[in-house]
Amino acid sequence: MSENTRDTRTKSAIIAGEGVLPVEIARRLTERGSPPLVLTMRSDEEAFRDVADPLVRLRYPSLSRVIKEIRRHGAVSVIMAGRVSKKLIYIPALFDPLTLKLLARSARDDHSLLAAVVGILEKEGISVLPYWHILPDFIAPEGQLGHRRPTADEVRDFEYGAAVLKITLPCSFGQALVVAGGAVVAVEAMEGTDATVERAGKLIAKGVLVKMMRVDQDPRYDLPTIGPKTIENMALAGLTCLAVEARRTLIVDAEKTFALAASRDIAVWGLPCQCS
């Protein structure tokens, strides 16, 4: 599609982190006839072949560059999706002046940083769009999701875990935790869910993973996500049940996720949504 024929009035940009999610969003936008501008620090640029128009490789986190490229390519909105290492915020030499200014003014928790980025983009007249409406089939429903129902012990553990999360989540940490025998074994912090599961596996032989969304998270760009890798890591750690919040959790590659869960005899359950 040439620059002369492309309709930029509805063109979107994707700030793409790691994982399948941003690639799938780009694919679906392309299938709708609106291939997005993709801005990413990922090394696997081939993942966006044929689904980016164009692909811009960022060598380091630069909000100024992001804004410049969005304007240059005529995009009017942006979608933020995929994992970005939280360790980056402790390497100030990587950042441009605008991003450094943002970090200096913001708290270092995920929500505050993302909200600050969104605030700057919106101040520049760039709309931040939710990605769940592009992926409605990725949203976890309530109830039994996998091949088997959780055991009574697993139910007790994930109900206890959900009760604990309702206390920790307003403090902007602990999106996921592992419970075994009515005791909290590990709570997610900056390391992420996968590392939390690995840590728990060194302490216990069996347990349950519970994952929910904070009240202050913005569903446009900050939904909890699970996928095949979650199941693989749970199996390695000896965890036997995964409970996620319905309507506020994305399941990436659900068919493969549930097939892996069945092969590892891991129950998957959708908890009632805590939406207000």
pLDDT in tens, 53-96: 999 998 877 888 999 999 999 999 999 998 876 554 444 554 66
Confidence bin at 103 (pLDDT 50/70/90): low
Q: Return phi, psi of residue 5, to 5°.
A: -100, -15
Question: pLDDT: is 200 or 222 the higher one?
Answer: 200
pLDDT at 99 over 80: no
Q: What is the pTM of this model?
A: 0.80
For the segment 184-195, the average pLDDT, to the nearest whole number, is 91
Domain with CATH 3.40.140.80 in the chain: 137-271
CB 162 within 8 A of CB 270: no
What whole-number percentage of the chain has pLDDT above 70?
87
Consecutive H or E run containing 185: strand 183-187
* DSSP label at residue 130: P
- Give the least confident one: 107-111, 159-163, 256-260, 265-269: 107-111
Confidence bin at 105 (pLDDT 50/70/90): low
Positive/negative CA dihedral, 130, 134, 136, 138: negative
CATH of 8-128 among 3.10.129.10, 3.30.70.330, 3.40.50.720, 3.40.50.300: 3.40.50.720
**CA atoms of 267 and 240, how far apart (whole Å):** 6
Number of CB atoms found within 10 A of residue 146's CB: 22
Positive/negative CA dihedral, 140, 144, 149, 153: positive
CA 171 to chain centre: 19
> Among 254, 191, 248, 190, which residue's Cα sits nearest to residue 223?
248
Domain with CATH 3.40.50.720 in the chain: 8-128
| pLDDT given for residue 3 in this prediction | 40
Mean pLDDT of the chain: 87
CATH code that applies to domain 137-271:
3.40.140.80
Torsion angle in degrees (nearest 10) through CA of 118, 226, 172, 62: -30
Q: Return phi, psi of residue 197, to 5°.
A: -60, -45
CB 182 within 8 A of CB 157: yes
- Give the least confident one: 99-108, 136-145, 176-185: 99-108
pLDDT at 11 over 50: yes
